[in-house]
Amino acid sequence: MAPHAEDAPTGLADPKTGSQEPVNAGEAPLEPGVKKSIARGKMIEFPRPPKFEDKYAEREYLKGRLAAAFRIFGKNGFDEGVAGHITLRDPVQPDTFWVNPFGVAFSHINKSDLIQVDHSGTVIDGGEVRLLNTAAYMIHHAIHEARPDVICAAHSHSIYGRTWCSLGRKIDTLTQDACAFHGDHVVYDSFNGVVLAETEGKDIAKALGQKKAALLQSHGLLTVGHTIEEAVFWFVSLEKCCHSQLMAEAAAGSRGEKPIVIDDETAQYTYRTVGSHRAGWFAAKPMFDQIHRETGGAHLQ
């Protein structure tokens, strides 16, 4: 991914004035322009992803988060038919990953349903249903192999994402939310049907490079993250950005106009707040909390 300032959100100058003073006198710990003295005090209270000394305990925790991720996808309608997959790099065996069993509804997935896949595409552990989506293996294996920093990768055929991907264009930076993807997403401009070939997966990984998201032409969205939460939030947010731009272009076009694009300097400035790894993790937290409350923790079984 592009360089981030997530671990040093203090002392950022207003790019328009050069001032180190808070732009709007705010005190949010990740807000650009906040004084170091204010931000350091606030960061003490700011939540962070949990850390584990025991890799097996970490595996169990992350599998629970992955199950919740599928519930979130199901809740948002990202589960048409059997398409779509989210993968988790295993902390115990990093050259393997956990993924959903092929043909099981996202909204029903529990931790015990997940399957573990090795580097050759063999299912080596997991739930009762051990069918593996070949496309899931081809795409995600290539990404996890090419990007050691990626813990989670998410892909599905969401309606607005796949509609936007038919245009073969990046999204424009029209809104604050879209700033999270400013200079940090790509278009994969090839479509050769369902990804069943190893070379296609490698080509997608190569096109993604160090970015957080890819628009797969005539296919759909792909997002990655240093945490499950981050990858999931980027997917949900990118889907909504696609929806927003489709509506903005239709509305503006009806008047013979074009949507207003945020200037590059402001977009980069905003990206530092809304586009970091930690910002993605924290933005997803309410969704995961909601799933836990709605299921009563049943997804952890």
Q: What is the mean pLDDT of each successive set of 10 residues along the chain, which is 301 residues long?
A: 38 37 41 58 72 97 98 96 96 98 96 97 96 93 97 97 96 98 95 74 95 96 98 98 98 96 97 96 96 94 95
Cα separation, 154 vs 99, whole angstroms: 10
Q: Which residues contact 77 (CB under 8 A, 6 or more apart)?
A: 158, 159
Amino acid, res. 253: G
Question: What pLDDT does residue 250 have?
Answer: 97
Question: What pLDDT does residue 190 have?
Answer: 84
Q: Is the dihedral of CA 222, 276, 168, 208 positive or negative?
A: negative
239, 185 Cβ separation under 8 angstroms: no
Other Cβ atoms less than 10 A from the Cβ of 68: the count is 27
Cα separation, 287 vs 295, whole angstroms: 12
Question: What pLDDT does residue 16 have?
Answer: 39
Question: What pLDDT does residue 4 have?
Answer: 39
Task: Write down the pTM of the prediction.
Answer: 0.85
Q: How far, CA to CA in Å, does 7 sit from each of 10, 30, 39, 277, 279?
A: 9, 9, 11, 9, 10
Q: Which residues contact 251 (CB under 8 A, 6 or more apart)?
A: none
99 Ramachandran zone, left/alpha/beta (phi>0; psi -120 to 50): beta
In the chain the first and final C-alpha atoms are separated, in Å, by 34
